[in-house]
Amino acid sequence: MKAKDLIAEAISLPVEERAIVVDSILRSLNPPESDIDKKWADIARKRLNAIRSGEAEPIPGDEVFSRIWERFSL
């Protein structure tokens, strides 16, 4: 199977399955480092718990990027 055919087949998959395919391919290019991944997972879990408990409030991504652009624009 040629890459072009494989890409066409992958694109036809449901979004969840495409995400799995992409993740698998990326992991083959850059294998995860389990210690680092565990630390990031712990941080993500803590942040999610803070949001769910009301301790922290999420900020929309576009607002975050707007603030960054404002801060670092010349």
The candidate with the shortest Cα–Cα distance to 46, out of 36, 37, 56, is: 56
Concatenating the DSSP letter of every residue in 5-55 gives HHHHHHHTS-HHHHHHHHHHHHHHHS---HHHHHHHHHHHHHHHHHHHHTS
> pLDDT tens, 18-60?
999 999 999 899 887 889 989 999 999 999 999 999 999 999 9
On whether the pTM is more than 0.85, the answer is: no
- Chain mean position to CA 18: 14
